[in-house]
């Protein structure tokens, strides 16, 4: 720990280059609950490192800002990541032939979350403010544990997993996915009505989806708690393009879940019950309409979308109490062992 007086003494020794870091503002920022009014030297060190890293990264990203407007277009960010690959030891094993798919996979995450209005460019400031660059630069660590790699979208195993799934779905090997091929995504329980909407609303080529559009689809389904993913899903669910979901829209999608239940020999659940549950969960401002903002504010967006588009998601929701009880029983057994 270091006191403010000693902090100022170090500032004099450190010289003019370090002066901006040794300000009263920085000291106050790092002040916690120390009874003697000191700050942690390690925290100060980390603060300086982070500031320097942000400064260097901003300069690095700005080199790719062709227009000099503080934004990066998709091609600019692609170039930045492509030239970053050789500096990341965790990506050493990637085949050169996979680089273009890797770059596409990495860039999509930035654009899906930082450009939800699809303007084709993102602010350098936003790139620095989000945690994605931290995740990407985590791959400099040669000893990154396996679980950290698996949960990191930018790691080689993660990128290969997503691309491998795409190749597995592409049964006719034409490099694109038809609606029928996409229907086997995940547990294969997404409804036809939902998939139809995906192909109506998303960019396709002769009715088939390319890898870039598929990445948006995966990012939306894997991050359904996030506002950007809910915005993507909401556009698909808003079948009448009204800007809100009414009883008609909810019924339109839930009928397909009921059909799937019949096909699997299950007793279909009444739509009226499900509709009431959705409105109870979301508690919208208007009791007859659910807006995107209602979904985001409720914190229940992931559950609501799962109920409407995926039989497996609906089944999990319907049996949540049983599943929780089973999980608790398993925990107890493990503790006893």
Q: What is the mean pLDDT of residues 139-156?
A: 91
Instruction: Choose the weakest-confidence range: 42-56, 97-111, 162-176, 230-244.
Output: 42-56
**Which residue in 111, 158, 108, 153 sits closest to 134, CA to CA?**
153
pLDDT score for 53: 86
Average pLDDT on 175-189 reads 94
What is the predicted pLDDT for the residue at 204? 87
Name the nearest CA neighbour of 230 among 282, 155, 166.
282
pLDDT tens-digit map of 276-332 = 999 999 999 998 999 999 999 999 999 999 999 998 888 888 887 765 566 565 655
pLDDT (0 to 100) of residue 90: 93
Mean pLDDT (whole number) for 152-171: 96
Residue 110 pLDDT exceeds 80: yes
Q: What is the pLDDT of residue 179?
A: 95
User: What is the arithmetic mean of pLDDT over 83-112?
Assistant: 95
Say what the pTM is: 0.84
Question: 187-321, superfamily in CATH?
Answer: EF-hand (1.10.238.10)
With a pLDDT cut of 90, the percent of the chain lying above it is 74
Q: Collapse the DSSP code of 80 into the 3-class scheme (helix H, G, I; strand E, B; otherwise coil) and give the result.
A: helix
99-114 vs 227-237: helix crossing angle, rounded to 10: 80
Q: What is the mean pLDDT of residues 84-105?
A: 94
SS3 for 167-217, per residue? HHHCCCCCCCECHHHHCCCCCCCECHHHHHHHHHHCCCECCEECHHHHHHH
Mean pLDDT of all residues in 82-86: 94
Helix, strand or coil for residue 268? coil
Backbone dihedral region for residue 283 (phi beyond 0: left; psi -120 to 50: alpha; all else: beta): left
Give the list of residues 6+ apart from residue 142 with CB closer than 8 angstroms, or none. 89, 90
Res 315: pLDDT: 86
Buried-state track 225-248, b at ≥16 Cβ within 10 A, e below 16 = ebbbbbbbbbebbbbeeeebbeee
Residue 127's pLDDT band (boundaries 50, 70, 90)? very high
Class of domain 64-169: mainly alpha
CA distance 246 to 95: 49
The mean predicted confidence, pLDDT, of the chain is 91
pLDDT tier at 184, thresholds 50, 70, 90: very high
């Amino acid at each position: 720990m270091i006191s403010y007086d000693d902090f100022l003494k170090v500032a004099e020794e450190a010289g003019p280059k370090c002066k901006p870091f040794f300000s009263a503002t920085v000291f106050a920022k790092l002040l916690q609950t120390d009874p003697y009014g000191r700050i942690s030297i390690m925290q100060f060190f980390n603060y300086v490192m982070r500031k320097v890293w942000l400064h260097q990264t901003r300069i690095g990203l700005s080199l790719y800002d062709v227009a000099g407007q503080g934004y990066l277009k998709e091609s600019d960010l692609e170039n930045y990541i492509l030239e970053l690959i050789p500096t990341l030891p965790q990506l050493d094993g990637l085949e050169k032939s996979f680089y273009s798919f890797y770059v596409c996979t990495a860039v999509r995450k930035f654009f899906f979350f930082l450009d939800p209005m699809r303007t084709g460019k993102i602010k350098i400031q936003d790139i620095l403010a989000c945690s994605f660059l931290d995740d990407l630069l985590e791959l400099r660590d040669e000893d990154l544990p396996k679980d950290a790699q698996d949960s990191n979208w930018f790691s080689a195993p993660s990128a290969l997993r997503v691309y491998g799934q795409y190749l597995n779905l592409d049964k006719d090997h034409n490099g694109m996915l038809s609606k029928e091929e996409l229907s086997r995504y995940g547990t294969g329980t997404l409804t036809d009505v939902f998939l139809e909407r995906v192909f109506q609303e998303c960019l396709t080529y002769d009715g088939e989806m390319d890898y870039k559009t598929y990445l948006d689809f995966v990012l939306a389904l894997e991050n359904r708690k996030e506002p950007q993913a809910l915005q993507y899903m909401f556009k698909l669910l808003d079948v009448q393009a009204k800007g809100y979901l009414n009883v008609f829209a909810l019924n339109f999608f839930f009928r397909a879940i009921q059909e799937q239940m019949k096909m699997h020999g299950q007793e279909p659940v009444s739509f009226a019950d499900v509709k009431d549950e959705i409105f109870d969960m979301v508690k919208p401002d208007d009791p007859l309409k659910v807006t995107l903002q209602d979904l985001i504010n409720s914190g229940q967006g992931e559950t609501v979308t799962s109920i409407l588009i995926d039989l497996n998601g609906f089944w999990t929701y319907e049996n949540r109490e049983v599943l929780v009880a089973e999980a608790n029983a398993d925990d107890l057994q493990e503790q006893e062992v």
